[in-house]
Amino acid sequence: MPFSEPVRLGRKRALPSCPNPLFLKWLTELRDDAKEKGLKIHHTYHKAINSLTKYPLPLQSATEAKILQNFGDGICKILDKKLQQYYKEHGPNAPIHSLPKRLQTAGEFDNNSLAPRQKKNDAPVSDSTAAEKKGEGGGRKKKREYVPQKRSGGYAVLLTLYREAQIPGSKGFMFKMELQTEAQKLCDKSFTVPDLGSKYTAWSSVSTLIQKNLLIKTHNPARYSLTEDGLALAERLEAAETGEQSPVDGNRKVQAEESPKLVDLTCSDDEDDEEARPVTPDIPVTASIHLTSGDADGGSTDSVALQTKSRQMDGGRLPPGSYDIVLCVDFIETTGGCQHRKQELVKELQRNGVNFDVRKLNVGDFLWVAREKVAPVSGQLRAPAGRELVLDYIIERKRMDDLCGSIIDGRFREQKFRLKRCGLRKPIYLVEECGKAASHMSLPESTLQQAIVNTQVVDGFFVKRVQDVRESAAYLTIMTRYLSKLYQNQTLFCRSRELDGDVVEDRSVPSCSLISFAEFNYGAIKNKCQTVKEVFARQLMQVSGLSGDKAAAILELYNTPHSLLSAYNRCSSEAEKEKLLASVRYGKLKRNLGPALSKTVYQLYCTQGPLL
């Protein structure tokens, strides 16, 4: 049995809070400076700081930090530059794992630092010397600058975000749906449908842009904005696109003359220069009808640029006469189930001359959009897609048999809750009577009638009752004509629901601040990632007698289960805990929640074990 080394006993030396205080100090300065300037990149610096503080080992260079989360090429490059400057000022052997009050000489590193050991006869080599030797020795060549290929997905995303940021009053970011819609005009590949034999779309390049620190993704739903490096690259791409010189940097002219070769985002950084792709010409090689015809008549390309520029200048505004009111019909209302009855609705709308469009709606069955009128461009097969703003009217259609089934399985309460939270201020329930057929349903007719009355009186929905499909089509026709007249002289503005929230306005006048259809439909996805507040609201609504208004009133005071439990812990007695929510006011009449519901909620969240 081999002799084992004796165990060394004694007090362990306390580990420092962060073994890389110098890098932490520089990152903190970068974050604070970016925050003062209002740059979105301060979120990236903050995430990098969190990753660095959790890493227990010392780092010899910023390049080693690439194994950590949120450390991209941009941050590592900045830290390495600061490290080289630090070595120049304090000497090549200056300590980097502590912040001494005085300069230390060589050999005074902490013995516990995990720096890589050198051979006895080897002299210490600085990072700059190693880099010089690497370049002189003919090793791996310097990495090329990362520039997306023209008309690629990354190219379109960078340009779209840059142009959006130049619009006066811009929110500084874009959501996924609106970013895909606007960027599609600058890309030859689809952002949603992969090519034949491939699983990648143009949107796949976004992950590469984030990895290269050109793009930052925050919040939920996701918001995409340019980083400092991405903004600089987008300015160069825009200058090359328009043929103008960017005035940001005086050295840009030299960079433009010696611009790097345009490479595809999917190319590897380790490829040699001999294997690089040739420079992409200004005009794509792919056959494009409007480009070739534009060369012949000299007008189509200019008209596209003029139209794009005019749409950027108006800041999302639709003046009177520049849009049409279009009825949007959920595709479920035209397919499946009773095919004859659903096709009858479409035929009635066509017979009445209603301008409608069938599409997928994530909430509601009918709504109206203000669709921008876009003139077709000479030489193009299809006219550019116009912007769409959602009017504040949305309809949920219910037959008596459907109402009965939705009450039994719980969909009815959930649908009402989602309609209230969808961002549109005037939800409508369109109820189709079944006549004598109601007597053959699982629930008595009196229960169904009471549910309809509660929807109107308690929940505050406008309820319209009709007899059959033909009357439903007639009501939709009248509403379409009414809204066309109501908005014919109105100037519409696009607002972001994420920034403004649920704005309460005077309901007697039409709202001219509307949500884009892409943002509305994406925000109404049923199975999308939910916040803690949304899950908490769903939990509360499972309690018998606790409606959406009551849940919303509780959420105004306690928006998470943790905040509610903390309030219970601050109570001095059981009786006080049971009556904590009794005085919470809800609804338009501002009634109290009551002691019974308050006690039920307390038992639900504070009882140990199963409820009896």
DSSP for 97-152, written as a single string:
SS--SS---TT-S-TT--PPP--TTPPP--HHHHHHHHHHTT-SPPPPP--PPTTS
Q: For residues 146 and 236, is the Cβ–Cβ distance under 8 A? A: no
Residue scoring higher pLDDT (52 or 441): 52
- Roughly how many angstroms between the first and final C-alpha of the chain, as a whole number? 64
**Average of per-residue pLDDT across 414-423:** 85
What is the per-residue pLDDT across 81-111, written as a single tens digit (0 to 9) for each? Answer: 888 888 888 888 777 777 655 433 333 333 3
Tell me the C-alpha distance between 416 and 548, whole Å. 8
| Phi, psi for 316 (deg, rounded to 5) | 80, 20
Point out the least confidently predicted range of 1-10, 12-21, 187-196, 594-603.
1-10
Tell me the C-alpha distance between 520 and 428, whole Å. 17
Tell me the C-alpha distance between 522 and 518, whole Å. 6
**Which residues carry out catalysis?**
330, 333, 365
Has residue 140 got a pLDDT over 70?
Answer: no
Of the pLDDT bands very low, low, confident and very high (cuts 50, 70, 90), residue 436 is low
- 232's enclosing H/E stretch is helix 228-242
Of the pLDDT bands very low, low, confident and very high (cuts 50, 70, 90), residue 600 is very high
Tell me the C-alpha distance between 530 and 538, whole Å. 10
- The type of residue at 180 is Q
Q: For residues 460 and 453, is the Cβ–Cβ distance under 8 A? A: no
pLDDT of residue 332: 85
- Pairing state between β 492-495 and 513-516: parallel
Burial of 596 (0-12, 13-18, 19+ CB in 10 A): exposed
Q: Which residues are registered as beta bridge partners of 398?
A: 431
pLDDT of residue 294: 37
User: Hey, CA dihedral for 471, 477, 481, 486, is it positive or negative?
Assistant: positive
Tell me the chain's radius of gyration from C-alpha atoms: 32
What is the per-residue pLDDT across 486-524, written as a single tens digit (0 to 9) for each? Answer: 998 899 988 876 554 444 444 455 678 898 898 888 878
pLDDT of residue 153: 92
**Average of per-residue pLDDT across 176-202:** 83
pLDDT of residue 413: 84
Tell me the C-alpha distance between 555 and 534, whole Å. 9
Of the pLDDT bands very low, low, confident and very high (cuts 50, 70, 90), residue 177 is confident
Point out the least confidently predicted range of 248-257, 380-389, 399-408.
248-257
**Average of per-residue pLDDT across 284-289:** 31
Q: How high is the mean pLDDT of the chain? A: 76
**Average of per-residue pLDDT across 551-577:** 92
Has residue 465 got a pLDDT over 70?
Answer: yes
DSSP string, 284-329: -SS--HHHHHHHHHS-HHHHHHHHHHHHHHTTSEE-TTSEEEEEEE
- 237's enclosing H/E stretch is helix 228-242
Its pTM stands at: 0.48
pLDDT of residue 7: 53
